[in-house]
């Protein structure tokens, strides 16, 4: 019986794929299957996938034309045979003896199980990213707050989803989105299960590479603004569907923080003139006005209140100077 399917989308991941698969296949259990969904790789990734499939019968490989990570994951869901499905990116890797906490929690039969993780930085340092609260969180209200007002449940990896729910409810990744597709998938899954049948576990199971290569060159202003609008709307729709109340202020603060992060990132996308133009366009975006209107300044920390007033009242030149300064301070 296959108990766990791990789906790994692969696209030109030759640099990291070996360490990823070594970490996964260190697991001694027969109830594991690893689905490598090769998304039309043009480097040696495809050959590496085939090599590992020849070495370990638990590995299955599917080579497909390049359609993007969402399509690659969706294909994997269609082929998954495990009771639970977990996603892992090819440039990340699982911790030593990861299967012990995973199988321990699988035995609980929960409809959703989320694990914490480590962020791994380019200098080799790492930092644990725990859920706020106890070692194990089952309270539906707290899970809702973490889901809707923090980024901790936005990624799909490091979590256990019931495969039957994914298939029967047709929970898939949106192939038309390149930013935020993980969170839309997670929200869709949560709409199909009961929060009381979910569990968050403060035991890290993987290392997530914080890869900033080319980040400024890939700022993608238009996509990020649209994503902010899509995710905010999806979040509100989920709250209405589930009848969740009392989190409106926390959610508004979370999206305001997202707006200020976008502005900080934008300040590194070019010179002063380019930054001014980006901020000028940003202030005209309807979603930005909605975020500013929905958040209460009193719910913000003092320095965020100052940023709120700046965004509301200051000329775009002052905004550019402030966020460029803030970006430079962040680098130190």
**Mean pLDDT across the chain:** 93
Cβ burial of 243 (10 Å; 0-12, 13-18, 19+) is: exposed
Position of tokens 């707050």? Answer: 145
What's the half-sphere exposure (Cβ side, CA atoms, 13 Å) at 232?
Answer: 26
CB 132 within 8 A of CB 146: yes
Give the list of residues 6+ apart from residue 221 with CB closer than 8 angstroms, or none: 266, 269, 278, 281, 282
Residue 126 to residue 86: CA distance in whole angstroms: 22
Distance of CA 176 to the CA centre of its chain: 16
pLDDT digits (tens, 9 = 90+) for 253-273: 999 999 999 998 888 777 888
Q: What pLDDT is stored for residue 331 in this prediction?
A: 58
Rg (C-alpha) for the chain, rounded Å, is 21
Q: What pLDDT is stored for residue 215 in this prediction?
A: 40
The dihedral through the CA atoms of 221, 224, 225, 226 has a sign that is positive
Q: What pLDDT is stored for residue 329 in this prediction?
A: 74
pLDDT digits (tens, 9 = 90+) for 146-194: 999 999 999 999 999 999 999 999 999 999 998 999 999 999 999 999 9
CA distances from 93 to 23, 96, 184, 253, 310 (A): 6, 9, 23, 32, 41
Q: What pLDDT is stored for residue 219 in this prediction?
A: 59
Position of tokens 């911790």? Answer: 95
- In this prediction, what percent of the chain has a pLDDT beyond 90? 86
CA distances from 5 to 53, 76, 163, 190 (A): 15, 9, 8, 19
Q: What pLDDT is stored for residue 120 in this prediction?
A: 95
Q: What pLDDT is stored for residue 193 in this prediction?
A: 97
pLDDT digits (tens, 9 = 90+) for 259-317: 999 998 888 777 888 889 889 999 999 999 999 999 999 999 999 999 999 999 999 99
pLDDT digits (tens, 9 = 90+) for 204-228: 999 999 875 434 345 577 888 999 9
Lowest pLDDT segment from 28-37, 98-107, 134-143, 209-218: 209-218
Which of 1 and 43 is assigned the larger pLDDT? 43
pTM of the model: 0.93
Q: What pLDDT is stored for residue 211 in this prediction?
A: 74
Q: What is the mean pLDDT of residues 16-27?
A: 98
pLDDT digits (tens, 9 = 90+) for 30-89: 999 999 999 999 999 999 999 999 999 999 999 999 999 999 999 999 999 999 999 999
pLDDT digits (tens, 9 = 90+) for 316-329: 999 999 999 988 77
Q: What pLDDT is stored for residue 266 in this prediction?
A: 85
């Amino acid at each position: 019986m296959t108990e766990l399917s791990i789906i790994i989308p692969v696209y030109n991941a030759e640099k990291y794929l070996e360490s990823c698969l070594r970490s996964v296949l260190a697991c001694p259990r027969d109830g594991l299957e690893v689905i490598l969904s090769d998304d039309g790789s043009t480097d040696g990734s495809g050959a590496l996938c085939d090599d590992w499939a020849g070495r370990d019968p638990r590995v299955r490989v599917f080579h497909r034309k390049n359609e993007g990570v969402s399509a690659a994951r969706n294909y994997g869901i269609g082929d998954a045979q495990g009771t639970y499905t977990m996603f892992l990116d090819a440039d990340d890797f699982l911790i030593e003896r990861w299967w012990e906490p995973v199988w321990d929690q699988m035995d609980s039969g929960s409809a959703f199980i989320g694990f914490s993780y480590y962020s791994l930085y380019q200098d080799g340092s790492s930092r644990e990213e725990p859920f706020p609260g106890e070692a194990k969180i089952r309270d539906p209200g707290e899970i809702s707050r973490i889901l809707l007002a923090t980024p901790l449940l936005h990624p799909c990896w490091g979590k256990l989803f019931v495969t039957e729910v994914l298939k029967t409810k047709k929970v898939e990744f949106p192939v038309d989105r390149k930013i935020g597709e993980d969170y839309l998938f997670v929200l869709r899954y949560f709409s199909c299960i009961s929060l009381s049948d979910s569990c968050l576990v403060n035991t890290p199971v993987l290392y997530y590479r914080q890869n900033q290569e080319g980040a400024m060159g890939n700022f993608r202003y238009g996509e990020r603004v649209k994503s902010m609008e899509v995710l905010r709307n999806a979040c509100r729709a989920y709250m209405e569907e589930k009848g969740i109340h009392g989190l409106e202020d926390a959610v508004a603060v979370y999206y305001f923080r997202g707006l200020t992060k976008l502005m900080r990132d934008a300040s590194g996308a070019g010179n002063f003139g380019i930054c001014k133009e980006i901020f000028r366009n940003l202030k005209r975006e309807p979603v930005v006005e909605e975020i500013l209107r929905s958040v209460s300044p009193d719910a913000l920390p003092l320095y965020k209140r100052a940023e709120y007033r700046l965004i509301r009242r200051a000329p775009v030149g002052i905004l550019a100077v402030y966020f460029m300064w803030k970006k430079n301070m962040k680098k130190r």
